[in-house]
Amino acid sequence: MRVAMYYSNKDVRLEELPKPKIGPGEFLVKVMTCGICGSDVLEWYRIKRAPLVLGHEATGEIVEVGEGVERYKIGDRVFVSHHVPCGTCRYCLSGHHTACETLHKTNYDPGGFAEYIRVPRINVERGVYPLPDDLSFEDGTLIEPLGCVVRGQRLANIRKGQSVLVLGSGISGLLHLQLARARGAERAIATDINEYRLNAAKKFGADAVIHAGEDVPERLRQLNGSRLADLVIVCTGATAANKQALQCVDRGGTVLFFAVPGQGVDISVPITDFWRNEVTIMTSYGAAPEDLEDALKLIKERKVNVHNMITHRLSLAETGLGFGLVADAKESLKVIIESQR
């Protein structure tokens, strides 16, 4: 079968691998679509394991079913989660599923940028989400990124009537904007350095946008009735934006680091001011099963418009082009790979 083998962001090659063989409790999925995630192009995070087949936002059709699989059958249309928690460790039981050691070790074989993937038993048992008949394979690729956004806002305890500032208007930032609106945010403002993405933020629900090169806290006060934001969501790894976030949160507010700078980069926190003003700093990582279920429901009920976020549909042979588009972060939003083209 054909796969897109990752060596670096600028070196993704179309290669051949044997089609995976399934065992008991497993099934084989014919991949129809797989989205390129912003984390796929984080070279500091990925390149140390290269060469490998990436892709974790895969949807497709079950074409082989192993012995003992009873809940699914050949022909089922599915989204498959690559990382799944055990559900029994102290982290899972305390609600921190994405800190589960099992979650960080699980994956499908070889990766979503392939014609076929083998879904291991634990993923079959804990990470399969049937797609409704009226939900396309391509829209289904947004279940995983939206699930991560759902988790972040759930942990940040977003509430109706809050003002929200989203730093970075890539796909994650736009999903955060839409979800904040769906959750009842009173006002949503977005930033970016790219005019294309600022215009996209307006299209997907921002009340106002701010160019990140401006004095963002001051512009925020002007746009937000002299106040800073109740919830600041960082959706870019740019160090300047991460520092900026700490200047934009109102008293009693929360800063959610949904994205972080590269490894080894530290951010100075004005801890005395935050202590006096009861500012919360928090992070979120990945998505748990309940977040993915919620994301699927949001997409199915059209409460979050994912379809219009897809700007590029490329073939498996064009995966390298897709990686370039995502890494450049200019005039693209969601890039998906159609593996059967």
Contacts of 82 (CB under 8 A, 6+ apart): 56, 58, 106, 107, 108, 112, 123, 127, 144
Q: Do the Cβ atoms of 13 and 7 come closer than 8 Å?
A: yes
pLDDT, one tens digit per residue, over 78-123 is 999 999 999 999 999 999 999 999 999 999 999 999 999 999 999 9
Q: Can you give the pTM of this predicted structure?
A: 0.96
41: tokens are 């192009």
- Exposure string over 316-332, b if 16+ CB within 10 A, otherwise e: bebbbebbbbbbebeeb
Superfamily of domain 157-283: NAD(P)-binding Rossmann-like Domain (3.40.50.720)
Strand 310-315 with 334-338, pairing: parallel
pLDDT, one tens digit per residue, over 28-49 is 999 999 999 999 998 888 888 9
Side-chain-facing half-sphere of 170: CA atoms under 13 Å: 23
Helix (H, G, I), strand (E, B) or coil at 2: strand
> What is the DSSP annotation of 92-130?
HHTT-GGG-HHHHH---BS-SSBSEEEE-HHHHHHSEEE
Q: At what angle do helices 143-155 and 289-300 cross, to 10 degrees?
A: 110
| Closest to 151 measured CA to CA, from 282, 303, 284, 280 | 284
Cβ atoms within 10 Å, residue 103: 26
Is there a cis peptide before residue 51, judged by omega within 30 degrees of 0? yes
- Sequence ranges of the domains in the chain: 2-146+287-338, 157-283
- Pick left, alpha or beta for residue 152 (phi over 0 → left; psi -120 to 50 → alpha; otherwise beta): alpha
Q: Do the Cβ atoms of 27 and 66 come closer than 8 Å?
A: yes
pLDDT at 262: 78
Percent of the chain predicted with pLDDT > 90: 95
Topology of domain 2-146+287-338 in CATH is Quinone Oxidoreductase; Chain A, domain 1 (3.90.180)
Below-70 pLDDT ranges, the chain: none
State residue 47 phi and psi, 5-degree precision: -65, -25
| Closest to 166 measured CA to CA, from 189, 148, 184 | 189
Strand 116-119 with 163-167, pairing: unpaired
State residue 313 phi and psi, 5-degree precision: -120, 110
Tell me the C-alpha distance between 57 and 141, whole Å: 5
